[in-house]
């Protein structure tokens, strides 16, 4: 097989790769210096669309509509953009071996790629129920959502099982967004998760109570405190029901599983320092190996605001960490200083007619403010998190752009709380707008 050499190689073709490519172009990368190697068949795209408008029966999102970098309001990088910029976009190519010492990558069909500087942007893989030996978990019509191929298969199943029954396993991001998308398609939905409330890594019980009641009002049946332990199938090998640990059996034409992901670091095991499940980096996303950077889901980096190492799985961090790494690469080459990454954690979601944003850290005590009744015509409410007398995190449902900016500023500035938490709750958004 032929050997190809590039000055810069990005391994992985997701959101981070696309935003890194744009930054390379801004920094003046020369033709044929940069390659992106992706196992997917399409140019980098905004992955969050897959659990939202991609599944809608109307106003459906399709490529090329959501290629990067439209998700952050930037220019859409169509497939032809890459060759126009002299960037080699190498698709349908899975890297199966990485030798960081010899700066060599080898593909599944034996192609060799040499690099001078490597950016690891391999992202995460979904956790599958087959990993745990769950009975019947390899049945047809059990879906996971990570890549566009997964979304296409789910779209076909929704069409084939019109007005059917779906079970969504998991009550996090994917569970909530997909339950909403399935209901919009007139599918009967049951959402099953083991925790006492939905989105437990972020939501308080008070926040979750609104979303659970709202979803039930929209026709989503919520089953908490139990897990799927098996799946029944018909003669065609299609799923027909879900067996729960508490003994219940739920009919299902479609099952969608969203129980988390794992960072794809296996190629680099034993070659690079790891921490907290990811590849350890500094504030410029440099790893322990010279000329190797790691960005997005795979990076465990110094979160300056909280003086600790963290790994963050979210599209916002994938975009910004990729840009930071490329700035650091060119800063090192040109001798120009680059500030350390100073990231404010940001998470958001949209489902039905709801839209929330969260900034900062959900640590310490929390206070709920606003009108969180599911029957409210405005459903505008939020939460602050208070640690060591300061507001360290802020959440807002149905905020205006100005209100969302206000809670972002609160989380960044971390103002002291004067008075009681009850007084803070009474102030609500007024507290944020004064900062």
Contact in structure between 338 and 293 (CB atoms under 8 Å): no
Same domain? For 282 and 367 the reply is no
Measured CA to CA, the distance from residue 125 to residue 108 in angstroms comes to: 18
Measured CA to CA, the distance from residue 34 to residue 16 in angstroms comes to: 15
E strand segments, 13-128: 34-37, 88-90, 95-99, 104-107, 112-120, 124-126
Total structural domains within the chain: 3
Same domain? For 101 and 199 the reply is no
Measured CA to CA, the distance from residue 110 to residue 113 in angstroms comes to: 10
Residue 344 lies in a domain: no
Q: Would you state the pLDDT for residue 36? A: 98
Measured CA to CA, the distance from residue 434 to residue 107 in angstroms comes to: 55
Contact in structure between 11 and 37 (CB atoms under 8 Å): yes
Residue 396 lies in a domain: yes
Q: Would you state the pLDDT for residue 375? A: 86
E strand segments, 139-260: 142-144, 165-169, 188-193, 220-224, 228-233, 239-244, 249-251, 254-257
Q: For residues 217-221, give the mean pLDDT.
A: 97
310: left (phi over 0), alpha (psi -120 to 50) or beta: beta
pLDDT classification of 421: cutoffs 50, 70, 90: very high
> For residue 309, what is the enclosing H or E element?
strand 308-311
| Mean pLDDT value across the chain | 97
Residue 401 lies in a domain: yes
Residue 345 lies in a domain: no
Same domain? For 191 and 84 the reply is no
Same domain? For 113 and 30 the reply is yes
Burial environment of residue 41 by CB neighbours within 10 A (0 to 12, 13 to 18, 19 or more) = exposed
Contact in structure between 277 and 312 (CB atoms under 8 Å): no
Distances in Å between the alpha carbon of 424 and those of 207, 428, 429? Answer: 17, 6, 9
Measured CA to CA, the distance from residue 52 to residue 391 in angstroms comes to: 31
Q: For residues 406-413, give the mean pLDDT.
A: 98
Which of 218, 215, 181 has the alpha carbon at shortest distance from 198? 215
Is 90 exceeded by the pLDDT of residue 374? no
Q: CATH number for the domain including 291? A: 3.50.50.60
Q: For residues 315-330, give the mean pLDDT.
A: 98
pLDDT classification of 205: cutoffs 50, 70, 90: very high
Q: Would you state the pLDDT for residue 435? A: 87
Residue where one domain finishes, among candidates 224, 242, 259: 259
Q: CATH number for the domain including 396? A: 3.30.390.30
Measured CA to CA, the distance from residue 351 to residue 63 in angstroms comes to: 21
Residue 342 lies in a domain: no
Same domain? For 119 and 134 the reply is no
Domain that holds residue 362: 353-433
DSSP string of 328-381, one letter each residue: HHHHHHHT---PPP----EEEEEETTEEEEEEE---SEEEEEE---TT-SS--E
Same domain? For 9 and 118 the reply is yes
Q: Which two tokens stand for residue 17?
A: 């790769």
317 three-state secondary structure: helix
Q: Would you state the pLDDT for residue 235? A: 96
Q: Would you state the pLDDT for residue 82? A: 98
Q: Would you state the pLDDT for residue 87? A: 98
Q: Would you state the pLDDT for residue 2? A: 79
Is 90 exceeded by the pLDDT of residue 378? no
Backbone angles phi, psi at 408, to 5 degrees: -60, -45
Q: Would you state the pLDDT for residue 37? A: 98
Q: Comparing 408 with 377, which gets the higher pLDDT?
A: 408
pLDDT classification of 176: cutoffs 50, 70, 90: very high
Q: Would you state the pLDDT for residue 377? A: 83
CB atoms within 10 A of CB 231: 24
> For residue 116, what is the enclosing H or E element?
strand 112-120
Which of the 8 DSSP states describes residue 327? Answer: H
Give every CB contact of residue 58 below 8 A, 6+ residues apart in sequence: none
Same domain? For 326 and 371 the reply is no
Query: pLDDT tens digits, residue range 250-293?
Result: 999 999 999 999 999 999 999 999 999 999 999 999 999 999 99
Residue where one domain finishes, among candidates 259, 285, 306: 259
Q: For residues 101-125, give the mean pLDDT.
A: 97
Residue 340 lies in a domain: no
Measured CA to CA, the distance from residue 372 to residue 280 in angstroms comes to: 40
Residue 309 lies in a domain: yes
Q: Which two tokens stand for residue 55?
A: 């599944």
Same domain? For 94 and 110 the reply is yes
Measured CA to CA, the distance from residue 299 to residue 292 in angstroms comes to: 12
Is 90 exceeded by the pLDDT of residue 224? yes
Measured CA to CA, the distance from residue 283 to residue 342 in angstroms comes to: 8
Residue where one domain finishes, among candidates 259, 288, 305: 259
Same domain? For 212 and 65 the reply is no
Distances in Å between the alpha carbon of 389 and those of 384, 417, 429? Answer: 12, 6, 18
Measured CA to CA, the distance from residue 157 to residue 253 in angstroms comes to: 9
Same domain? For 107 and 7 the reply is yes
Same domain? For 140 and 226 the reply is yes
Is 80 exceeded by the pLDDT of residue 1? no
Residue with tokens 């978990």: 137
Residue 62 lies in a domain: yes
Distance between start and end Cα atoms, the chain: 61
pLDDT classification of 210: cutoffs 50, 70, 90: very high
Q: Would you state the pLDDT for residue 376? A: 83
Measured CA to CA, the distance from residue 247 to residue 241 in angstroms comes to: 12
Is 80 exceeded by the pLDDT of residue 14? yes
Measured CA to CA, the distance from residue 349 to residue 364 in angstroms comes to: 23
Same domain? For 200 and 301 the reply is no
Query: pLDDT tens digits, residue range 38-95?
Result: 999 999 999 999 999 999 999 899 999 999 999 999 999 999 999 999 999 999 999 9
């Amino acid at each position: 097989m032929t050997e190809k050499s590039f000055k810069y190689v990005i391994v992985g073709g997701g959101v981070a790769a696309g935003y890194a490519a744009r930054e390379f172009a801004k920094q003046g990368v020369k033709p044929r210096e940069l390659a992106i190697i992706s196992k997917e068949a399409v140019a980098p795209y905004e992955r969050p669309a897959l659990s939202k408008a991609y599944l809608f029966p109307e106003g459906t999102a399709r490529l090329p509509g959501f290629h990067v970098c439209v998700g952050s309001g930037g220019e859409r990088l169509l497939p032809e953009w890459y060759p126009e910029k002299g960037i080699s976009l190498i698709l349908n190519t899975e890297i199966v071996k990485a030798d960081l010492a010899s700066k060599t990558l080898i593909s599944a069909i034996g192609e060799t790629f040499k690099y001078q500087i490597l950016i690891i942007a391999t992202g995460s893989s979904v956790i599958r129920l087959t990993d745990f030996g769950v009975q019947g978990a390899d049945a047809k019509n059990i879906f996971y959502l990570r890549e566009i191929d997964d979304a296409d298969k789910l779209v076909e199943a929704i069409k084939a099982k019109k007005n059917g029954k779906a079970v969504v396993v998991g009550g996090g991001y994917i569970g909530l967004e997909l339950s909403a998308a399935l209901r919009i398609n007139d599918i009967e939905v049951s959402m099953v998760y083991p925790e006492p409330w939905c989105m437990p890594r972020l939501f308080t019980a008070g926040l979750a109570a609104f979303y659970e009641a709202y979803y039930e009002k929209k026709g989503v049946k919520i089953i908490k405190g139990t897990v799927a332990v098996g799946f029944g199938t018909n003669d065609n090998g299609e799923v027909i029901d879900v067996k729960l640990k508490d003994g219940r059996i739920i009919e299902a034409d479609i099952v969608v599983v969203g129980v988390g992901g794992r960072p794809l670091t296996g190629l680099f095991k034993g070659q690079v320092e790891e921490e907290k499940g990811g590849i350890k980096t500094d504030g410029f996303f440099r790893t322990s190996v010279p000329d190797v950077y790691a960005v997005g889901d795979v990076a465990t980096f110094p979160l300056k605001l909280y003086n600790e190492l963290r790994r963050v799985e979210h599209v916002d961090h994938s975009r910004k960490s990729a840009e930071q790494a490329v700035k650091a690469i060119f800063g090192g080459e040109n001798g120009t200083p680059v500030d350390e990454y100073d990231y404010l954690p940001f998470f958001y979601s949209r489902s039905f007619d709801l839209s929330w944003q969260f900034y900062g850290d959900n640590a310490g005590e929390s206070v709920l403010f606003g009108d969180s009744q599911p029957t409210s015509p405005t459903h505008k409410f939020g939460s602050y998190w208070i640690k060591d007398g300061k507001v360290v995190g802020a959440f807002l449902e149905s905020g205006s752009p100005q209100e969302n900016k206000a809670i972002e500023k609160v989380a960044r500035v971390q103002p002291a709380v004067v008075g009681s938490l009850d007084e803070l709750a009474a102030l609500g958004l007024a507290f944020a707008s004064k900062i």
